Amino acid sequence: MSVAKPNPHDSGLAHVSGVARYTDDMPMADPVHLAFGLSTVAHAKLTSVNLDVVRAADGVIDVLIAADLPAENDVSPSAHDEPMLATGKVHFVGQPIFLVVATTHRAARMAAQLGQIKYEKLPALLTIDDAMAADSKFEDAMTFQNGDADGAMTSSDNQIEGSMEVGGQEHFYLESQAASAQPNEGDVLVHSSTQHPTEIQHKVAEALGVPMNAVRVEIRRMGGGFGGKESQGNSLAVACAVIAMRLNRPAKMRYDRDDDMIITGKRHDFRINYRVGFDNSGRLQSVLFEQFAKCGWAMDLSLPVADRAMLHADNAYYLPNVRILSHRLKTNTVSNTAYRGFGGPQGVIGIERVMDHIAYTLGIDPLEVRRINYYGEGRDQTPYHMTIEDNVMPEITDELVIASDYVERRAEIAAFNAQSPILKRGIALTPIKFGISFTLTHLNQAGALVHVYSDGSIHLNHGGTEMGQGLFTKVAQVAAQVFGVGLDMVKITATDTAKVPNTSATAASSGADLNGMACKAACETLRERLSNFAAQLWQTTPDKISFTGGMVNSNGNSMTFAELAAAAYGARVQLSATGFYKTPKIKWDRFAGKGRPFLYFSYGAAVTEVVIDTLTGENRILRADILHDVGRSLNPALDIGQIEGAYVQAAGWLTTEELVWDDKGRHLTHAPSTYKIPACSDRPKEFNVKLWERGENVEDTIYKSKAVGEPPFNLGISAFMALSDAVAACGDAYPDMDTPATAERVLKAVDMEKGITW
């Protein structure tokens, strides 16, 4: 079996020896280097753009403004509302206004600072409140509802309400955005660090005014993506292509880290208001959510992000009477974009806050409130009218409660807190049920291209991109599995729009589900041809031919896979095939808020224990226990890596990763010196991550596996809830902290418990 093995990442050796090439590492003959000159104000008319000093700067070859562009000036993935270079107005601090072409990267950066821009300032909407007051929205508020929320609220036994601010998150992929372009006989070859090569191809073709077949985009690997390279690389690729064609010379561009953090979109910050009715056992009777998503200045992917937040407002819980209202707010801030979870975690954290709030109100263990509200028999319809058919949340919870010693530890923590005046501990278990499929149904398709050469070696290509998640390894395992050969027979190749066309972004955790199935289809087509040929050769039927251990066998006949490939070639059997897959069953009407947006759900749960310092608010994760369902794992090592990494990334989102803007709309945390992602010692010292052994996808997915990229990100929410639990040990009030729970927020919450305000 090739699948289900813990094979190391296919590029592991290349990574550790420094030979793995990323976009900026590609050898290139005498390229020019590009940099953007940026807006310094949040909203203004451009009254004068004087670039004389820029043109005269050392090393500058060319300087372009919007009017110099050859065709479309748009890098939006959605609404054609995102000019690459500003036209007349600027809409956020950091918006590119002009493009510098220079002999070196440094010369381009130096010159990009020298633009003499005059602005006529316009009122800037910088916050959720600003946007609501101005009714500045990308579309009308959306509503999902099921049951009679208002009636049930009125008749409910208990009611609570609250509000929380949920902070955004910088992706901080270690490789900043990068692209290059080479002219090629009137066409262009683009290398882009992108999760979405087809979109790069599409935007470059538009920008050059050429058909898509004149543009080829290739990407072997990214140095991290996390959603931040789904649309945010468009500007760099388009800029490089435009310049490469304009000067007939290779062009390359990478954002310096600070520019990257100023220009590119982030996880959407949200406000979540809730009003909840529940009975005396803590069971929900009515839930009203109002979600406010700060989308920034351009639409980008904000609508489906906000949709997914609504679609995860239930998380693992049955909301019998529910109404979810969602506002998609347009502000003069960076255009927020996809980020691992795609709005889901913001939806989930809302209902998790509700669970805790109910528990503290009733004085019972939050775990009991969670359990009593889980989906179950007769309680299986979501707020969007989909029936849950694969619920394994109670089983996972039961197993994790035992494996993590949750009950004993809760008692130990209470005892510790009783005798520790300064340090206090907290614990929480939170679950995740995460919906798998793109909510834009047509994106749920994928293609693959597989060649078998006459020596039996296999060339694999598909539409998915490798950003570190191990997708290429998993898909290669699928190919090796179908042909019964070793992984070493399969050559993994760069994603290339010239090999597999019209691909979807590698996003929504769908990479292995979609591309694995497409690869399997291609390989099965080839195996069928080879089986038919072998059956002729051996005077038997194709169903008697088996492929295993590098051999092809039938009733005592046997040859190597390589020998069969050579013989098949000699007999003029076609040894190249494409494969295609489209996800079945899904159907979704986003305006009605009804349908089946997801093929299935991924489940998991985490228990986190934390400690806080009640004098300073400093805090730390002590231990995390995770049980997660990946169905039948395609590769347990890679899956555990995804879970560990996602948890720590989410814990960072909710603790130390604080994005700060000033009242002029300037981003102040635009470097790792001020924006703090988790460091080595921030990982849980005791970190027990297990795949749920009984996991098996009830749907017909690739070898019964489940998607893994985004779902476990939500498990980091347990760290935030554990911090709330620790704060609650300092007094009687419910600590309604906003996120991220920085030391300052924790101290403020502790002092609130003690009745001290500042």
Q: Which of residues 625-644 bind other proteins (CB under 8 A)?
A: 637-638, 640-641, 644
What is the spatial distance between Cα 667 and Cα 258, in angstroms, rounded to a whole number? 10
Site string for other proteins, 461-490 (x = CB under 8 A): ------xxxx--------------------
Parallel/antiparallel/unpaired status of strands 686-691 and 619-628: parallel
Q: Total binding residues for other proteins by CB under 8 A?
A: 92
- 320 near other proteins, rule: CB under 8 A: no
The token duo for 545 is 């031919």
Burial of 529 (C-beta count, 10 Å sphere; 0-12/13-18/19+): middle
Q: In what order do the strands lie in the sheet with 686-691?
A: 423-436, 600-613, 619-628, 686-691
- Of 1, 79, 592, 668, which one interacts with other proteins (CB under 8 A)? 668
- 229 near other proteins, rule: CB under 8 A: no
The token duo for 655 is 């603790």
Tell me how many degrees the CA angle 714-719-722 measures, rounded to the nearest 5: 130
Residues of span 45-64 touching other proteins by CB under 8 A? none
Q: Which of 583, 448, 582 is nearest to 526 (CA)?
A: 448
**CB of 256 or CB of 563, closer to other proteins:** 256
- DSSP letter, residue 678: -
From residue 412, alpha-carbon distances to 416, 418, 424, 427, 430 in Å are: 6, 10, 12, 11, 19
- 258 near other proteins, rule: CB under 8 A: yes
- Of 611, 630, 707, 721, which one interacts with other proteins (CB under 8 A)? 611
Residues of span 406-425 touching other proteins by CB under 8 A? 420-423
Catalytic residue among 170, 206, 710, 753: 710
- Of 27, 211, 363, 755, which one interacts with other proteins (CB under 8 A)? 27
- Of 82, 175, 356, 496, which one interacts with other proteins (CB under 8 A)? 175
What is the spatial distance between Cα 346 and Cα 271, in angstroms, rounded to a whole number? 9
* Shortest Å, Cβ 739 to other proteins: 14
- Of 137, 379, 409, 676, which one interacts with other proteins (CB under 8 A)? 676
Burial of 732 (C-beta count, 10 Å sphere; 0-12/13-18/19+): exposed
Is the separation of the CB atoms in 393 and 316 below 8 Å? yes
- 145 near other proteins, rule: CB under 8 A: no
- 4 near other proteins, rule: CB under 8 A: no
Q: Which long-range contacts (CB under 8 A, 24 or more apart) does 128-132 make?
A: 128/269, 128/271, 128/292, 128/294, 128/329, 128/331, 130/331, 131/294, 131/329, 131/330, 131/331, 132/292, 132/327, 132/329
Q: Which of 339, 260, 228, 235 is nearest to 94 (CA)?
A: 260
- 747 near other proteins, rule: CB under 8 A: yes
- Of 36, 98, 226, 360, which one interacts with other proteins (CB under 8 A)? 226
Helix 344-362 vs helix 366-373: crossing angle, to nearest 10: 120
**CB of 468 or CB of 579, closer to other proteins:** 468
The token duo for 375 is 């989906």
* Shortest Å, Cβ 597 to other proteins: 28
The token duo for 355 is 């669970």
Which region among 42-50, 202-210, 569-577, 609-617 touches other proteins (by CB under 8 A)? 609-617
Q: Is 290 a catalytic residue?
A: no
What's the one-letter identity of residue 378?
G
**CB of 60 or CB of 362, closer to other proteins:** 60
- 618 near other proteins, rule: CB under 8 A: yes
Query: Mapping DSSP to helix (H, G, I), strand (E, B) and coil, where does residue 646 land?
Result: helix
- 15 near other proteins, rule: CB under 8 A: yes
**CB of 16 or CB of 67, closer to other proteins:** 16
Residue listed under structure tokens 């704060």: 727
**CB of 27 or CB of 570, closer to other proteins:** 27
* Shortest Å, Cβ 283 to other proteins: 35
* Shortest Å, Cβ 500 to other proteins: 22
Residues of span 645-664 touching other proteins by CB under 8 A? 645-649, 656, 658, 660
- Of 748, 749, 752, 753, which one interacts with other proteins (CB under 8 A)? 748
**CB of 104 or CB of 454, closer to other proteins:** 104
Residues of span 372-401 touching other proteins by CB under 8 A? none
**CB of 502 or CB of 616, closer to other proteins:** 616
Burial of 644 (C-beta count, 10 Å sphere; 0-12/13-18/19+): middle
**CB of 87 or CB of 420, closer to other proteins:** 420
**CB of 317 or CB of 675, closer to other proteins:** 675
- 29 near other proteins, rule: CB under 8 A: no
What is the spatial distance between Cα 203 and Cα 215, in angstroms, rounded to a whole number? 10
- 110 near other proteins, rule: CB under 8 A: yes
Q: Which residues are catalytic?
A: 710
